[in-house]
């Protein structure tokens, strides 16, 4: 799939009745790379402030839900500044090799500065999640946090993760979602659409549309049952699908049981 294609994920006025005016988000690789390159130096700070630090807990939950063997290898795609990869290295009892992959070099550069203490176990590589440079079944677990939504082709992203995961290994996706409670969702959407893009732009010192893109990409992302069915067609049996913090994020964990459909 060429990087210049636009996302065709359905912009869900079905799944989200409030989302009438959504346009399809441009997720071409070049645009996404440029956007993250611009915000890379202040990405972590912006994340912590906008989430009130709760994103650290979400990654902690992810580490606890993906049990690892004593040795082997884990791949974290769209690793960005490496928070999830580093959380695995610091909090899991396993001695596995952890590989963080991302196609935006400035994000990885930030990660390299942060991996002190675990640099022997966490390796970063520049790679496109649409075409991972690994052979089939190379990893015991494959994870992604807040990255699948940014990929130009969600289905291909899930299939690539499943492809490089060994049989019986786990694929975990941590991603933003919308609260299912109507009242909470309405309040959240007010913040998400009106306040967050301005706060994000201010904190990241970024005048481009990076934080306006955030809410639009979340609203059109195929979450819940839609993502679960994508897991199944990639040969992943859903082990758990856990809404976090009123459902503003969801952790999906699948076990690779079979071939893709
Ligand atoms: C919102 S950040 C998430 C970073 C990190 N996982 C975290 O939890 O903070 C999304 C990352 O996905 C990366 N990304 C998006 N599409 C990608 C692709 N096709 N291949 C590799 N990286 C990609 C971006 O460069 C960016 O670093």
CATH of residue 86: 3.40.50.150
**Residue 232 belongs to domain spanning:** 29-37+52-176+220-256
The minimum-distance atom of ligand 1 relative to the CA of 33 is 25
The minimum-distance atom of ligand 1 relative to the CA of 174 is 8
What's the distance, CA 97 to chain centroid? 20
* Whole-number pLDDT of residue 214: 81
Would you say residue 2 lies in a domain? no
| Spans in the chain with pLDDT lower than 50 | 1-23
Q: What is the pTM of this model?
A: 0.88
CB 225 within 8 A of CB 180: no
- Cα 183 to ligand 1 centre (Å): 31
- Cα 104 to ligand 1 centre (Å): 8
* Whole-number pLDDT of residue 201: 80
Domain count, the chain: 1
Nearest residue to 14 via CA among 191, 178, 175, 252: 178
The minimum-distance atom of ligand 1 relative to the CA of 152 is 19
The minimum-distance atom of ligand 1 relative to the CA of 59 is 8
* Whole-number pLDDT of residue 104: 97
Q: Which residue ranges have their beta carbon within 6 Å of ligand 1?
A: 29, 32, 36, 78-80, 83-84, 102-104, 107, 128-130, 145-147, 150-151
Would you say residue 198 lies in a domain? no
Would you say residue 241 lies in a domain? yes
* Whole-number pLDDT of residue 7: 32
Cα 190 to Cα 186: distance, rounded to the nearest angstrom: 6
Which strands form 236-244's sheet, in the order they lie side by side? 122-126, 97-102, 73-77, 139-145, 165-176, 249-256, 236-244
* Whole-number pLDDT of residue 132: 98
Would you say residue 193 lies in a domain? no
Which residue is it, tokens 């690539």? 160
- Give the strand pairing for 97-102 and 122-126: parallel
What residues form DSSP beta bridges with 139? 165
């Amino acid at each position: 799939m060429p990087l210049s294609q636009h996302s065709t994920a359905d912009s869900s006025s079905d799944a989200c009745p409030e989302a009438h005016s959504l346009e399809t988000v441009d997720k071409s690789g070049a645009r996404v790379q440029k956007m993250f390159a611009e915000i890379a130096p202040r990405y972590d700070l912006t994340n912590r402030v906008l989430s009130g630090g709760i994103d650290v807990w979400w990654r902690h939950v992810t580490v606890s839900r993906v049990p690892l063997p004593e040795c082997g290898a884990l791949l974290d795609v769209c690793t960005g500044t490496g928070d999830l990869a580093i959380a695995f290295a610091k909090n899991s009892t396993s001695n596995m090799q952890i590989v963080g992959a991302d196609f935006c070099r400035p994000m990885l550069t930030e990660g390299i500065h942060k991996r002190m203490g675990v640099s022997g176990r966490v390796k970063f590589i520049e790679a496109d999640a649409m075409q991972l440079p690994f052979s089939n079944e190379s990893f015991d677990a494959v994870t992604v946090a807040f990255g699948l939504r940014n990929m130009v082709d969600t289905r291909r992203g899930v299939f690539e993760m499943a492809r490089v995961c060994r049989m019986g290994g786990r694929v975990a996706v941590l991603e933003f979602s919308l609260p299912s409670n109507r009242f909470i969702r309405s309040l959240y959407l007010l913040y998400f659409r009106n306040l967050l893009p301005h706060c994000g732009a201010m904190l990241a010192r970024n005048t481009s549309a990076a934080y306006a893109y955030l809410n639009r990409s979340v609203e059109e992302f195929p979450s819940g049952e839609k993502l679960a069915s994508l897991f199944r067609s990639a040969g992943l049996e859903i082990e758990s699908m856990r809404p976090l913090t009123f459902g503003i994020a969801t952790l999906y964990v699948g076990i690779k049981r079979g071939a893709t459909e």
